[in-house]
Structure 1
Amino acid sequence: MTDITYELRDRTAWIGLNRPQKRNAINDAVLQAIEAAVRRAQGEARAMVLFGHGPCFCAGLDLAEHRAREAPEVFRNSRAWHAAFSLIRRGPVPAIAALHGATVGGGLELAAACHLRIADATAFFALPEGSRGIYVGGGASVHVARLLGTARMMDLMLTGRVLSAAEAERANLVQYLVDAEKAPGKASELAAKVVEMAPLTVLGVLQALPRIQDMSEEDGLFVESMMAALAQTGPEAAARLADFVGKRGAKVAGPSS
């Protein structure tokens, strides 16, 4: 059994964590396999979906391996997690996380590295590192805190609070909430839309938008204008706008439609 499964379907790469007997806990080998699968997807796909085989998405760091490490090695390992997850976050291919069951610790950090997150009703979220006498190391201090806000992040780490799927949606941790076992189907639906996006638009959303959040207002608006000029003068934009003006493009409809 391989730690990671990989399948390319309709320009979407499906990357599955495959250690169900360990609740898909991440050790060094799994982290390296995730990175390799993501690099492969970025070379041949237009979207990727990350999911977990078995009872949950990911229970986080494999603590059995972590216990034997000294401080310098823990530091280097944390930086390896940052690099692997940055490859997803800063890469050219939109990543969708389809979440069920435990999505905790490093599993939550992996989900936070994705651009879209779908939780089914069985999903639950936590950062149990504090109760285990350790600290997050896969990027949660920055990226989960930006989703939740610092106060909620403190709550999870200081008290061991566990968020249900519905609470996670209200807290901005996930964008979609679906019934049990429906997350892969929703991921497939979203991926089908993502792969049809114009490449320059995807470039702006994945590369410019996150950086704009770290800029001053004026610098952010300047980059927005530059990105708009780049995207809106491309040949694909011209064709799509012509389709819309010629009533060949779909209009925006309300959610009930």
Structure 2
Amino acid sequence: MALVETWRNGAVAGIRMNRPDRANALSAELVEALLTAINEAIDSGARILVLSGNGATFCGGFDLSTLEQENDASLMYRFLRIELLLQALYYAPLYTVALVHGAVSGAGADLAAACSRRIAAPRSSLRFPGIRFGAVLGTRRLMALVGAKARAILLEQERVDAEEALRINLIDRIAQQDEWDAIVESLECSIAAVPTESASQVMQLDIAHGDRDLGLLARSIAEPGLKQRMQEYWLAMKAERAERLPREGIVGS
């Protein structure tokens, strides 16, 4: 099964993450597949790139399923590749649109935040837990979207529901999934009226920040013990979920 599905409709190129059994979590392989698909969309001459995910959620964040086989160095490399993926979206010379649904977490929320527009289904939510294990990923881009509120989102670790995300500009619009095609078509009409070169220049206005963002991430994860911190985080998340399921009347494990 392909890790990403791609499609093209006029000036719109689409990339759909396709790991529904893993909540589209960002494995090393999925990150590389996304980078390839983004570059292909750019080379194709598309004006708009739409990013979405199959299954119950847009993206569940960093894939922790191989954590036991990782070490600090391999985890650092994976984080750096994710930052380069986020920059590929953020600085792409085309208009990027994230179609968000479900409980979106960590690097998945950063994926959405890196896009030009963020359309969310009702009952969606976003959370940025990476700071719990010391990863400063996407922080400047988040602050550019929501301002000083980013500090509370990161430090208090609250999940931001769609209504609050709309209020603080973390998303641009709440819309049912059956409305998404019409929204993208409307955006295509608007972007088509802007000369291609002018649009590219607008999308890349602050490209000089890219190296600084990569450096901040590298410094944050260079402290020895990254794998241990991530293991502790993962155990804490499982304990929180086990406690939450009975309280919310959810059956499962």
1:185 corresponds to? 182
Q: How far apart, in 2, do the equivalents of 1:187 and 1:135 lie? A: 36
Cα pair distance change 1:113/1:159, threshold 3 Å:
same
Gaps of 5+ in 2: 211-253
Cα pair distance change 1:92/1:55, threshold 3 Å:
same
Deviation of 1:52 (Å): 1.0
1:135 corresponds to? 134
Gaps of 5+ in 1: 215-257
1:195 corresponds to? 192
Deviation of 1:165 (Å): 0.7
Are residue 18 (structure 1) and residue 15 (structure 2) matched?
no
SS at match of 2:123: coil
1:229 corresponds to? none
Q: TM-score, normalised by structure 2?
A: 0.75
Paired residues of 2:89 and 2:114 also in contact (CA < 8 A): yes
1:176 corresponds to? 173
Q: How far apart, in 1, do the equivalents of 2:133 and 2:185 lie? A: 36
Counterpart amino acid of residue 111 in structure 1: A
- What's the CA shift string for 1:18-63, capped at 9, x where partnerless? 1111111110000001001101100111211001111111111111
Are residue 60 (structure 1) and residue 61 (structure 2) matched?
yes
Deviation of 1:183 (Å): 3.3
- RMSD between superposed Cα atoms in Å: 2.2
1:204 corresponds to? 201
2:120 corresponds to? 119
Counterpart amino acid of residue 83 in structure 1: L
Q: How far apart, in 1, do the equivalents of 2:126 and 2:169 lie? A: 12
Give matches, 1:49-128, under 5 Å: 49-128=50-129
1:147 corresponds to? 145
Deviation of 1:170 (Å): 0.9
Deviation of 1:2 (Å): 1.0
- What's the CA shift string for 1:213-247, capped at 9, x where partnerless? 99xxxxxxxxxxxxxxxxxxxxxxxxxxxxxxxxx
Q: How far apart, in 2, do the equivalents of 1:212 and 1:157 lie? A: 24
Identity of aligned residues (%): 24
Greater RCO (CA < 8 Å, at least 6 residues apart)? 2
Say which one has the larger Rg: 1
Q: How far apart, in 2, do the equivalents of 1:170 and 1:82 lie? A: 26
